[in-house]
Amino acid sequence: MSADGWSSVLVLGGIRSGKSAFAESLVAAAPSVRYVATAVGGEDDPEWRGRIEAHQRRRPQAWTTEETGADPARLATLLAEAKPDETLLVDDLGGWVAALLDPANQPNDDVATVTALAEAVRTSAARVVVVSPEVGLSLVPATAVGRAFADALGTANQALADACDRVAFVVAGRPTWLKTGAAEPGIVTDVQAEDGAAEIPAHDAMAAATPPARLAAVATAAPAKPLGTAEKTDRPEFAVEHNGVIEVGMDLPLPDGDAGPDSRDRLERVDLPGAGIGALIEAVEFAAGTQGTATPRPWGRVRVLLVDGRHDGGAAAGADPRDSDRRAAEAETGEGALARLAATADADVTVVRVPASGAMEDGPVLDEASVDAALRQGWELAAAAAGEGRDALVIGSCGTGTDAAATAVVAATTGAEPVAVLPRVLVPGGRYDDEAWMRRCAAVRDAMHRIRQEPRGAKDVLAQLGGADLAVAAGAVLGAAAHRMPVLVDGPVGIAAGLVARDISSQSRLWLLLADAGRLELVRQGADVLGLTPVLDLGLDLGEGANALATLPLLRSAIALAGSLPVHPALLTTPGDDGLSDDDAEFAEPEPGGPGPARA
């Protein structure tokens, strides 16, 4: 058993309950994960293949995959041979049972095989999360084979529940802990579980998970020298190792896993004349998690990183570099849409000009050293913003060829079809240049064909397709996460950068907020893979960075209301001088200058 008291978790849930996503969140902080896929067959079932592909797109590229469908007994062997520093995610037990009952694997002592698996989980040196369908709540199957499957899976679930240190049951995406320790049988409610919350540090809680819900502990050693050189603030720092080099699998902080749900619960009790703040509750929950309090304060000053990059070749078809130069200059002089929105949203704009990237259809667009330098530059820009007291970061872009580069990155990391997500080419006057779009599409197609047998790690994708501007943006996302600073994204570059950052450090995606869904399919599909739910659906298309700035005043208003309004008087059971009941004391409004990053 590990130092924090447990090594294995069984996650149960019905179909589409969110059990797999919850299980993945439990291992998000692990430097590397071995994903054990148990499903077999489905080659002739498009819907089933679609489900499998959706799971594959969600996984960070740093994860490795093992398949046991053809040989169910191999799962116990993998668990027995796993090393103490490994993390295994088995998804799911239903597929394993189906393979076990396959006539091709009979005759077989199924009970003995299940017993062997449970013992392998109990004695495994690695940390293990097992996902399994809960079939006991449905009707008794009408067919013999259906009853055999339900019986076998029910037996397996009971055996695994006994073997695992923790058992969670997920309904509608909400987990409830059924078992919090090997010596604590029975259902333990969220309130009861608080008695044992000290087993796992609060900072190690995962979003949407109730205590004790974290699998891999975030490092808590004394902070090492950060990558950035920004002046020191009271914003919590995080130790960055690797001698200052950004590497795949690096650990970054997580938002507070309890504060977000607590803020949502609190909103049901506050003194509002209407039914609530609607979709804006997503922004409140996000702010609460990133600030670590159920009563978040609205963001103060915000920094916009406007990345100005150039891409050669077909990616830039139909684009005028002089137009990009003009927009960057306007942002610096306080003119243009982005700068005007920034002025009304209490944001400052930093224009980041990066070297040009090559033609993706001809070869790598950036060398390895340039990728590392660009990632580091983005990290240091985020560190500087945190050091200067900015509360959030907005990723903006005004370069040429960036839409095609972002499309190629999204296609390479998620499997999206480029022709379905490449944005159309809009020229002055509101006209679309379809010929230029076809040239961009051809460049992306040729680039994808060129790298079809090349590695697709995060840095490989940046070198082959993304270029300097996307690398800077990805570095900024990572640096912001390291300094516990939220990042607002709203366009192709921000989404593509978020996907690359996720493949370097899976925790980074939890610091991203998509304020508006916009109009671009590229943004919608990339956000879906990142697990980002847009707060609003206004259909804005003001330019990357400007969309987020336009929504910022509304988001601030919602967060301010949620954090400052008292509980409705009718819900106060024992009012005190502060107007709060004992039950609501944990949601008391923070003192000025309380939780949350400092502001300059």
Instruction: Give the residue numbers marked as catalytic.
Output: 544
Contact 169, 19 (CB under 8 A): no
Q: Which sign, positive or negative, has the C-alpha torsion 330, 334, 338, 340?
A: negative
Rounded Cα distance, 98 and 44, in Å: 17
The residue among 406, 416, 455 whose CA lies nearest residue 61 is 455
| CA atoms of 462 and 544, how far apart (whole Å) | 20
Please say whether the beta carbons of 176 and 166 come within 8 A: no
* CA 308/CA 469 separation, integer angstroms: 7
Q: How many CB atoms lie within 10 A of CB 102?
A: 15
Q: What's the CA gap between 226 and 96, in Å, rounded?
A: 45
CA distances from 402 to 74, 234, 422, 439 (A): 45, 36, 11, 14
Closest-CA residue to 212 (of 259, 166, 170): 166
Q: Would the CA dihedral through 253, 257, 290, 394 be positive or negative?
A: positive
E strand intervals along 485-537? 487-489, 512-514
SS3 content of the chain, % helix, strand, coil (to 5): 45, 15, 40
179 phi/psi in degrees, rounded to 5:
-145, 125
Residue 125: enclosing H or E segment and its boundaries? Answer: none
**Measured distance CA(101)–CA(179) in Å, rounded:** 29
Neighbours of 100 (CB within 10 A): 23
Contact assessment for residue 477 and residue 484, using Cβ atoms and an 8 Å cutoff? no
Helix axes 93-101, 110-123, angle to 10 degrees: 150
Give the number of other Cβ atoms within 10 Å of residue 43's Cβ. Answer: 8
Would strands 166-171 and 174-179 be described as parallel, antiparallel, or unpaired? Answer: antiparallel
CA–CA separation, 374 and 476 (whole Å): 10
Q: Classify 27 as helix, strand or coil.
A: coil
Q: Which residues face 133 on adjacent strands?
A: 13
Supply 452's token pair: 């079809």
Q: For the packed helices 144-163 and 110-123, what is the interaxial angle rounded to 10 degrees?
A: 30
Q: Are 520 and 492 in contact (CB under 8 A)?
A: yes
Is the C-alpha dihedral spanning 446, 54, 114, 144 positive or negative?
Answer: negative
Q: What does the alpha-carbon distance between residue 254 and residue 376 come to, in Å, rounded to a whole number?
A: 21
Query: What is the residue type of 533?
Result: T
